[in-house]
């Protein structure tokens, strides 16, 4: 699902933002999920707790999709 060669290893803030944007467009969009720009900025700046917030949002989105699928088949 994710081609790792598409992401540039970097310490550059601009490239980190670009990598997150690529992840948004190519991977997360397939889940109907997008990371808001402000959250990307905070992730890139290593704001404490931000990664956990992102993972929680992603978990909720996955659980929502699972509930929808159960409703379609059940």
Assign domain 13-71 one CATH number from 3.30.1490.20, 1.10.418.10, 3.40.920.10, 2.102.10.10. Answer: 1.10.418.10
Report how far residue 39's alpha carbon sits from residue 18's, in angstroms, rounded to the nearest whole number. Answer: 13
Q: Where are the domains of the chain?
A: 13-71
In the chain, what percentage of residues exceed pLDDT 70?
97
Q: 3-state DSSP: the chain helix, strand, coil percent, rounded to 5? A: 70, 0, 30
pLDDT over 80 at 65, yes or no: yes
pLDDT tens across 12-26, in order?
999 999 999 999 998
- Please state whether the predicted TM-score (pTM) of the whole model is above 0.85: no
């Amino acid at each position: 699902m994710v081609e790792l060669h598409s992401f540039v290893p970097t310490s550059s803030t601009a490239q980190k933002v670009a990598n997150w944007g690529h992840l948004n467009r190519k991977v997360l969009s397939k889940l109907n999920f997008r990371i808001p720009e402000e959250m990307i900025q905070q992730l890139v700046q290593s704001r404490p707790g931000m990664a956990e917030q992102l993972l929680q949002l992603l978990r909720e989105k996955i659980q929502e999709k699972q509930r929808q699928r159960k409703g379609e088949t059940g």
